[in-house]
Amino acid sequence: MAFPQKGRRIVFYMLRYLIGNVVIAAFLLLFVLINIQAFRVTGEVGYILVAINQSVYGMLFLARKRAVATSTSAFDWGIAFAATFLGTLLRPAHPLNAWLGDALISIGIIINLASVLFLNRSIGMVPAQRSIKTGGLYRYVRHPMYASEVLSLFGYTLANVSFANAFIVISTAAFMLIRINREELFLSRSLAYQAYSIETRWKLLPFIY
C-alpha cells in the first residue's frame, strides 16, 4: 500500500526540520569548543563570552516554536545560512587591540543575550512568521540581535586580526544587510508587522538605519 502523499509531505518536512537543526547545532558546537579552547590557552575573557552566547543561542534555537509561515525562497535560505554561519569560521589570531575588541564583544553579547532571551522560542533563522516581539530592545530597533552580532564580530576581529577574519566579518555584515531586507519583505505581508514597522522606525541603528 502506497504511503499517502500528505503523509510523505509531513515526513519530508519533519526530516528537513530535524536535519537542519542537527547541522546548525553542529556548527555552533564546533565554534563554542574552539573558543573554549582559546580561552584555556590565552585566558582572554572574550572567548568564553562568545562560547556562552553561542550556547544560549543554540539551545533556544533548538527549542524554537514552529513558524506559521516560512519563506520557501532558496535565496532567502542561502542568505540566512551565510549570515548565520560565516561568523563561526572566525578563528583565534594575533590581537590588534585586545582590550577594545573584548569591550565590543562584551557589549555586543549583552545586547545579543537581551535580544535572544526576549525572543525566546520565537527565535529563527530564515524569514518566518512567528509571534511579533515589540518590547525590550525591539522598541528601539527592529533587529537588535543582528546589530549586536555585527558589533561582536568586529570586536572579535580587533582581538584576532587576520585577513581571513576581516574578510569573514565584512562578508557577514553584507549578508546581514541583505538578510534584513529580505526578512522585512517577507514579514511585511503581515498587517501586524506593518504597524510595528511604522511604530519602530529604525531597522538596525537608531537615527542611522
Band (1; pLDDT cuts 50, 70, 90): very low
Q: Do 127 and 136 touch, CB atoms closer than 8 A?
A: no
Q: What is the pLDDT of residues 58-112, one digit of tens each?
A: 777 666 666 677 788 889 888 988 888 888 888 888 888 888 988 998 898 889 8
How far apart CA 123 and CA 60 sit, in angstroms, is: 7
User: Rounded to 5 degrees, what angle do the CA atoms 131, 62, 45 make?
Assistant: 105
Q: What is the pLDDT of residues 149-188, one digit of tens each?
A: 899 899 989 989 999 999 999 999 999 999 999 999 999 9
Alpha helices for 43-131 (secondary structure H): 45-62, 74-85, 98-119
Q: Do 101 and 157 touch, CB atoms closer than 8 A?
A: yes
The Cβ-side half-sphere exposure at 154, using a 13 Å CA radius, reads: 13
Cell numbers describing residue 19: 536535519
pLDDT value at residue 7: 58
Question: Which DSSP category does 69 fall into?
Answer: E
pLDDT value at residue 42: 79
Q: Is 202 exposed, middle or buried (0-12, 13-18, 19+ CB in 10 A)?
A: middle
Phi, psi of 90 (to 5 degrees): -60, 145
The DSSP element (H or E) to which 195 belongs, if any, is helix 191-199
- 169-198 burial: b if 16+ Cβ within 10 Å, else e: beebbebbbbbbebbeebbeeeeebeebee
pLDDT value at residue 71: 81
Phi, psi of 114 (to 5 degrees): -60, -40
pLDDT value at residue 11: 59
Q: What is the pLDDT of residues 9-34, one digit of tens each?
A: 555 556 566 656 677 777 778 888 88
pLDDT value at residue 3: 47
Residues 6+ apart with CB under 8 A from 2: none
Please give the C-alpha separations between residue 111 and each of 8, 38, 100, 116, 190, in angstroms, as whole numbers.
Answer: 42, 23, 17, 9, 26
Q: What is the pLDDT of residues 109-141, one digit of tens each?
A: 889 888 877 876 667 777 777 778 888 899 999
| pTM as predicted | 0.77
Domains parsed from the chain with CATH numbers: 5-199 (1.20.120.1630)
